[in-house]
Amino acid sequence: MRWLTLPILGLLVLAAQPLPAAPLVRVKDLAVVEGVRSNPLVGYGLVVGLQGTGDGTQAAFTIQSLTNMLRRSGITVPQAAIRVRNVAAVMVTVDLQPFARPGQRLDVQVSSLGDAKSLQGGTLLMTPLLGPDGITYALAQGAVSIGGAFLGGGGGNSVQKNHPTSGRVPSGAVVERAISSRFDADSTIRLLLNEPDFATASRVSASINETLGPGASRAEDAVSIVIESPTELASDPVTLIARIQAMEVRPDVAARVIINEKTGTVVVGKDVRVSKVAVAHGNLSVEIRTVLEASQPLPRAGGDTVVLPQQEVYAEEEPDKILTLEDGVTVRELVDSLNMLGVSARDMIAILQAMRSAGALHAEIVPL
């Protein structure tokens, strides 16, 4: 039970809130099987069929690529004679999922490489998708689907909806070569936690031993859990891994406060604690106004009209807002209290950072 002491308008408010237990999470969502991973593929291609929104003459690589494509088709056109705006050079990317087999189809991401205005209505020509070893593992082709539009305009004005220079080709890639995944269930299986934590690794190992029998697994370190395949399941590794991934474990995570000063976002973990501390926060507003006054001479007196700027300075300091916290108060209760006092998100970030420097905030502050 945690108690929060908060003075509001001369009243002493005590709030008691029990801390909820962490939810149970499937092992599937906490860890991956070693050797079972996706592989990124990338390729360079052309999108055609655009309505005048393709690359301009400044994108020399687009014109060169179009010239080479026409030459392979038996059409010879001087590169200097090509002036088209319905073609755009793009980079095509995709993640080749583990155990993918030839003939399977994948969605690909298409992104403009030149100065195209929009890829709306375009068609991606056949593009080889290569791995880091330079081998073609898939071929991509198809109509590009984007979530935005470029509506054109004139006189330097234009209308744009969302981001029209990137899109997707649904089921646009065909797998041509399989990548062997390092997965051998006859020996040992190793799970790798997404977030390294000794307590979570120990709990996962204990849950596996409770289900498969004592000594079935052991935690090597904060990341990896080694599993020995039981004899009755050695011939069916898929069932073994499915049983393990379906187990539920209560993970233990480090106390963290995520802050983003650009957007004023504060995300606080439930395990963050605050030592006894008093926080005083006040704002000083300074406003400078410039009023232009004209000094005009009398008729027939001669002289020129002079404009005299008159500056007025106003300074207003809001009354300090004092918050007293006892030991063990959670940051959630702290944030709720600051919200009740009308503290903005950016002021809250400054207060949390100051509390961390003072040693009263027991958590890691992670800026984004």
Q: What is the pLDDT of residues 216-254, one digit of tens each?
A: 888 888 889 888 766 656 667 788 888 888 888 888 877
pLDDT for residue 283 is more than 50: yes
**Pick the residue with more confidence: 193 or 152?**
193
Tell me what pLDDT residue 129 has.
93
Angle at 354 between CA 350 and CA 359, to 5 degrees: 150
Tell me what pLDDT residue 13 has.
32
Q: Mean per-residue pLDDT for 290-314?
A: 63
Tell me what pLDDT residue 18 has.
43
Where are the domain boundaries for CATH 3.30.1360 in the chain?
25-36+182-249
pLDDT for residue 306 is more than 70: no
Cα–Cα distance measured from residue 279 to residue 187, given in angstroms and rounded to the nearest whole number:
58
> How many Cβ atoms from other residues are within 10 Å of residue 306's Cβ?
10
pLDDT for residue 111 is more than 60: yes
pLDDT band at 90 (very low <50, low <70, confident <90, very high): very high
Question: Which of 161-170, 200-209, 216-225 shows the lowest mean pLDDT across its residues?
Answer: 161-170
Whether the Cβ atoms of residue 159 and residue 184 lie closer than 8 Å to each other: no
- Among 110-114, 332-336, 358-362, top mean pLDDT goes to 110-114
Task: List, in order, residues 6 or more apart from 352 with CB less than 8 Å away.
Answer: 257, 259, 266, 331, 361, 365
What pairs with residue 313 in β-bridges? 288
Whether the Cβ atoms of residue 139 and residue 105 lie closer than 8 Å to each other: no
**Torsion sign, CA atoms 189, 194, 200, 203:** negative
Q: Mean per-residue pLDDT for 197-210?
A: 89
| The two structure tokens encoding residue 324 | 């007293």
Cα–Cα distance measured from residue 269 to residue 256, given in angstroms and rounded to the nearest whole number:
6
CA 67 from centre of chain: 39
> Does residue 233 sit in helix, strand or coil?
helix
Task: List, in order, residues 6 or more apart from 160 with CB less than 8 Å away.
Answer: 148, 149, 150, 151
CA 75 from centre of chain: 46
| The two structure tokens encoding residue 66 | 């179009």
Tell me what pLDDT residue 19 has.
46
Smallest CA-to-CA distance from 221 within 250, 247, 200 is with: 200
Cα–Cα distance measured from residue 365 to residue 58, given in angstroms and rounded to the nearest whole number:
45
Q: Mean per-residue pLDDT for 350-361?
A: 76
Tell me what pLDDT residue 315 has.
47
Q: What does pTM read for this prediction? A: 0.65
CATH class of the region 25-36+182-249: alpha beta
- Among 33-42, 66-75, 161-170, top mean pLDDT goes to 33-42
